[in-house]
Homo-oligomer: A and B are copies of this chain.
Amino acid sequence: MEQPKNAASLADLGEFGLIDRIAGQTQTHNQSTIRGIGDDAAVICAGGRHQVVTTDLLLEGIHFDLTYCPLKHLGYKAVAVNLSDVYAMNARPRQITVSIGVSAKFTLKAIDELYEGIRLACERYGADLVGGDTSTSLTGLTISITAIGEAEPDRIVYRNGARPNDIICVSGDLGAAYMGLQLLEREKRVLKGNAFERPAFDGYDYILERQLKPEPRADVIDFLEKIDVRPTAMMDVSDGLSSELLHICHSSGLGCRVYEEKIPIDHVTRNMADEINFNPVVAALNGGEDYELLFTIAQADYQKFQSIPGPNIYAIGYMTEADKGCRLITQGGSEADLVAQGWKAFAQ
């Protein structure tokens, strides 16, 4: 990927630029290393099967706010987002390690709550907690999780396998987690200094749940296996639809067309967006943290989704040759370039 050769700062480069830079400077040598940096997970040959390995670092004040995120939910979510990366490789989670750094403000009860959430997610998705590290920290809470999954070698799905005319699918509605975050942030501002007032969350359970307790789409991976569909490319939606689609397009050397009207958005997401005068489509395109699966399939496979009952899968567009660009077709029929306005980690 192109990168500013003489970027003076991390802010110039951005998170993806930094990852590209690290990847470009890194070679792999071991026979067992099938895929290194650059997908949802690395892939390792383990006997007759393949393993996927993915890791996430969660820092207090950056990725979560303990003002409104209960520790049990945080533990659950920390595991869930890692397992989502495992499923995004069309693999199934087997083991995780959890490292935590905690400052003196945390009680033992708080740590127990965190691990309760971690274990709950492990049990629900069949992963074993097998190790980790514990440390004090000077400030706040640090959580680092590594997840290991498993799949038959010919089932692994990378970002780079999409072909022209493949149908772009997404496994559920988008933008809800971002709207949930906006609601939580608003109530935090409103309630500052008014500890006795109850937050105005009525009717917004859905978007709060999407923000605080996302579920990785294990059911979609099971369904794809059952109907014998192997996506040509797949990612999970963590940074927003635009960002992920651009990754698939770039990795596959293709362009795409996405129809604004086909992007699934829940009515609660729309209600919240209306309330704060925010375009819900922007939330879907750039909000992130939806942890839905975004994948491309051959056109011939599309009818199989109707063959047996299963989770709703939404067709939102199709892949094109690269020279057609990556474009959104608006409800008015005009076209706009897809732009990744997702999480610019170092630009703040």
Contact = CB atoms under 8 A, between A and B. Distances in A.
Interface of A: 7-10, 12-13, 15, 18-19, 22, 25-26, 28-30, 32-33, 35-37, 41-42, 44, 46-49, 51, 53-57, 59-63, 94-95, 97, 99-102, 106-108, 111, 115, 119, 126-140, 142, 144, 146, 148, 150, 345-346, 348
A132 B107 CA distance: 29
The 5 closest A-B pairs by CB, nearest first: A47-B47, A46-B46, A42-B130, A144-B144, A28-B128
A119 B25 contact: yes
Nearest to A49: B47
Contacts of A59: 101, 135-138, 142
Contact of A55 (B126, B128, B131): B131
A108 B61 CA distance: 22
A158 B28 CA distance: 29
A63 B128 contact: no
Q: Which of A47, A60, A139, A148 has the most CB of B within 10 A?
A: A148
A126 B94 contact: no
B44 A94 contact: yes
Contact of A142 (B33, B57, B61, B346): B57
A112 to B, nearest CB: 8
Contacts of A29: 126, 128
A25 B12 CA distance: 45
Nearest to A13: B108
Nearest to A11: B104
Contact of A137 (B51, B62, B126, B132): B62
Most chain B CB atoms below 10 A, which of A12, A22, A111, A150: A22
